[in-house]
Amino acid sequence: MSKFIIPILIIMLIVYSVAKRNNTYNSFVVGAKNSFDIVLVSFPYIVAIFIAIEIFNTSGLSVIFADAVAPFFEFVGIPKELSQLVILKNFTGCGSLAVLEDVFATYGADSYLARAGCCIAGCSEAIFYISAVFFSKTGVTKLRYAVPVGIIANFLAAIVSCWICRVM
């Protein structure tokens, strides 16, 4: 049934558009044209955050930082093997999935670390990427509390994820 959802939605949109006597193609072109403004405004911010993430990963800073905070993470209940995942998830979803894949390969997909890593990856967000995209479009220049609150929320989500996976 799920393979029919997209075709059904497309058919419903076309039927609705015909019923409203709307020029569907013209509406689509106008929407696509308006999206270019968003892309032009957001693109420099997205490129900057991708470059910063790549520098953070390839320079080894993510591993060094993860090793430095691992004792604190273990104290609060996050295994040291997941410290790089917790840190990297704030920056990039794809990079954190690569770390999670490494956890699968090293410890097995059914291990506690893999389950906790999946929960961490699923309940946290790439704060810096999202901030770059959203705040570039809205024109907000002073992030004030948004990024720190997002990082704290990701950290608390990681603690709760590890606790729940330990209990289950």
Written as six digits, the tokens of 39 are 């892309």
Contacts of 163 (CB under 8 A, 6+ apart): 77
Instruction: Output 4-9 pairs: Cβ under 8 A, ≥24 positions apart.
Output: none
Indicate the helix (H) or strand (E) that contains 131: helix 127-138
SS3 assignment, position 146: helix
For position 8, what pLDDT does the model report?
94
For position 76, what pLDDT does the model report?
96
Task: Compute the radius of gyration of the chain from its Cα atoms.
Answer: 21
Q: Taking the domains of the chain in order of start, what are their residue ranges?
A: 9-15+24-167
Give the separation between CA 29 and CA 18, rounded to whole angstroms. Answer: 17
- Residues 25-38 have pLDDT tens digits of 888 899 888 888 87
Segments of the chain with pLDDT less than 50? none
Written as six digits, the tokens of 54 are 């790549």
For position 25, what pLDDT does the model report?
84
Whole-model pTM: value is: 0.71
Name residue, tokens 């044209």. Answer: 33
